[in-house]
């Protein structure tokens, strides 16, 4: 069986498991405990934090360990937006002074709501966080449109920013179609407006540079990199007015309460270091394999369509629509032929609704439901021609009703 759904999750690397094991057994301490067992755990946590910070090019104090990418996205978006809302009530709460958060209004006039910007193609964790802010806190949310390739226009972003904009949240690379955004241009816009930019880098980590993005906050999930599920990171500037989403014992410098997952943090640090060390070589190798695979699929199935940007895309992602089929039926046929993959985001698996990403790219609902996504691992070296042949056979079988 060939597993080609690495955007959903990856196996734990052996070296990651080895590094984690002591903190799951004899070094099991709570890092908040003031005794030798707890102090050993605290030391390991601090080391993991410093190693993650080094890869990301941030200060160790900017690294917040979370339970994964979803929590990291929630903390960034809700935390910065609610932090801006609370700053209105008490300006002394804010440590920084970005002008975009200065929402003072003329005397006697109601202040406009705190404003959040995202895009129409984001992961559910981002979109649901924005929906929550709109529904519960009465905030205004702008969801930027994208073009047919899933690309966000910097000009459209600039036009959407208001004086009351508290945060812009955009995916570095899309989890379904693999389109990579021009983060240099987007971050130049937010920097000029002095508005915090959050990048969801869950899919980008390991494939794209994480230093120098211009982001003020950046989310990563360990299980996309060869660490286990249940550990993630939000790297966020410590001077930003970030309101916690989880409240309790005040861990992570009062930004994320809850006993830290020391073993997970250690594993994430190792996985992130290894992925970064391999990034250039793996991106070139896997990208070449992906391109050959895509060309062969398109030649064998002339009605197939490669979704996302044709060149500015993740090296490990190829997503297609196969008009006249059912994506789920093609997946079943592929599994019968020894290939395991998906129709898109694992978080939306089982939904009868067409992908919101594909709809936002202008693909009609019927065609959107024929999508199949192939995502490859860093270490992939095998010839993908047999997979392309299996795709053609699976599509033909579905179309013939066989």
> Using CA atoms, how far apart are residues 372 and 7, in angstroms rounded to an integer?
13
Do residues 200 and 69 make contact, with C-beta atoms less than 8 angstroms apart?
A: yes
Query: Is 361 assigned a catalytic role?
Result: no
Token pair of 299 as six digits:
């030649």
At 318 the three-state DSSP class reads strand
Between the CA of residue 264 and those of 20, 24, 270, 289, 304, what are the distances in Å? 7, 9, 10, 32, 41
Do residues 103 and 114 make contact, with C-beta atoms less than 8 angstroms apart?
A: yes
Half-sphere exposure of 153 (CA within 13 A, CB side): 10
> Exactly one of 347, 377, 392, 396 is catalytic; which is it?
347
> Using CA atoms, how far apart are residues 45 and 30, in angstroms rounded to an integer?
10
Q: What is the dihedral of CA 287, 289, 293, 296, to 10 degrees?
A: 110
Block residue for tokens 């999508």: 371
> Using CA atoms, how far apart are residues 80 and 78, in angstroms rounded to an integer?
6
Q: Which residues are catalytic?
A: 347
């Amino acid at each position: 069986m060939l597993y080609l759904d690495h955007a959903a999750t990856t196996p734990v690397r052996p070296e990651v498991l080895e590094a984690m094991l002591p903190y799951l057994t004899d070094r099991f301490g709570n890092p908040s405990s003031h005794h030798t067992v707890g102090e050993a755990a605290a030391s390991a946590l601090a080391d993991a934090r410093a190693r993650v910070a080094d890869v990301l090019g941030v200060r160790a104090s900017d690294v917040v360990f979370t339970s994964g990418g979803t929590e990291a996205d929630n903390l960034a978006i809700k935390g910065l937006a609610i932090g801006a809302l609370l700053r209105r009530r008490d300006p002394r709460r804010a440590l920084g002074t970005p002008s975009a958060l200065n929402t003072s209004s003329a005397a006697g006039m109601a202040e406009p709501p705190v404003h959040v910007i995202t895009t129409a193609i984001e992961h559910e964790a981002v979109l649901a966080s924005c929906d929550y802010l709109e529904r519960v806190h009465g905030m205004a949310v702008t969801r930027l449109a994208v073009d047919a390739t899933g690309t966000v226009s910097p000009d459209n972003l600039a036009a959407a920013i208001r004086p009351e904009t508290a945060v812009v949240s955009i995916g570095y690379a899309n989890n379904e179609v693999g389109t990579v955004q021009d983060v240099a241009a987007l971050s130049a816009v937010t920097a000029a407006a002095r508005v915090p930019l959050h990048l969801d880098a869950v899919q980008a980590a390991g494939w794209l540079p994480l230093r120098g993005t211009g982001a003020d906050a950046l989310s990563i999930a360990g299980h996309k990199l060869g660490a286990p599920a249940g550990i993630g990171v939000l790297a966020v500037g410590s001077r930003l007015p970030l309101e916690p989403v989880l409240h309790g014992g005040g861990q992570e410098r009062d930004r994320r309460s809850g006993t830290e997952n020391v073993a997970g943090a250690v594993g994430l640090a190792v996985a992130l270091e290894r992925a970064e060390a391999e990034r250039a070589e793996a991106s070139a190798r896997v990208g070449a394999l992906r391109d050959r695979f895509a060309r062969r699929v398109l030649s064998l199935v002339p009605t197939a369509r490669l979704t996302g940007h044709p060149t500015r895309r993740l090296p490990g992602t190829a997503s297609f629509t196969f008009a006249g089929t059912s994506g789920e039926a093609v997946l079943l046929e592929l599994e019968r032929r020894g290939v395991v993959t998906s129709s898109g985001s694992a978080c939306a698996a089982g939904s009868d609704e067409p992908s919101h990403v594909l709809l936002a790219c202008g693909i009609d609902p019927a065609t959107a439901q024929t999508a199949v996504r192939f995502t490859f691992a860093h270490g992939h070296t095998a010839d993908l021609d047999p997979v392309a042949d299996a795709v053609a056979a699976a599509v033909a079988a579905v179309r013939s009703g066989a």
